[in-house]
């Protein structure tokens, strides 16, 4: 069960980050594709599976945020990633603000993956 959940989580994370990057490119190029219904719905499906697998792994392994520092770091980084992502794709008032938010969101996603692989909240210190 653990391996199924872990691989589901990792696959959904990769798909989520890849699709966010593609949507960021579409935002930069003012593509009409961003307004298509499937583009607005698919990320919610993938992210729901990602979150469900994360919660299931947390329960299965009895490793919880606020008791495991690396999971706490991932949780706070996830919140930052979501906020930056909404600014990048929807709420940014200028193109420059959206580009900055996109770059910061992708950097945050990279940090989340780095923490996940190292199980350490400051992986650059290892």
Reading the chain (126 residues) residue by residue, the pLDDT tens digits are 999 999 999 999 999 999 999 999 999 999 999 999 999 999 999 999 999 999 999 999 999 999 999 999 999 999 999 999 999 999 999 999 999 999 999 999 999 999 999 999 999 998
At 68 the three-state DSSP class reads strand
pTM of the model: 0.92
Output the pLDDT for position 4: 97
At 65 the three-state DSSP class reads strand
Contact present, 12 and 87 (Cβ < 8 Å): no
The pair of three-digit structure tokens given for residue 51, joined into one six-digit string: 């979150």
List alpha helices for 29-94, DSSP H.
37-61, 69-86
Question: Residue 68's beta-bridge partner residues?
Answer: 65
Output the pLDDT for position 126: 82
- Cα–Cα separations (whole angstroms), residue 32 to 65, 78, 87: 39, 28, 18
- Cα–Cα separations (whole angstroms), residue 96 to 22, 27, 82, 89: 18, 12, 18, 12
Output the pLDDT for position 46: 97
């Amino acid at each position: 069960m653990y391996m199924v959940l872990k691989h589901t989580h990792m696959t959904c994370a990769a798909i989520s980050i890849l699709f966010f990057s593609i949507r960021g490119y579409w935002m930069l190029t003012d593509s009409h594709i961003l307004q298509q219904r499937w583009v607005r719905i698919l990320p919610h499906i993938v992210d729901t599976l990602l979150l469900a697998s994360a919660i299931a792994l947390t329960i299965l392994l009895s490793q919880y945020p606020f008791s495991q520092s690396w999971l706490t770091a991932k949780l706070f980084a996830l919140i930052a990633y979501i906020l930056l992502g909404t600014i990048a794709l929807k709420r940014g008032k200028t193109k420059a603000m959206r580009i900055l938010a996109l770059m910061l969101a992708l950097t945050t996603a990279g940090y989340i993956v780095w923490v996940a692989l190292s199980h350490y909240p400051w992986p650059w210190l290892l």
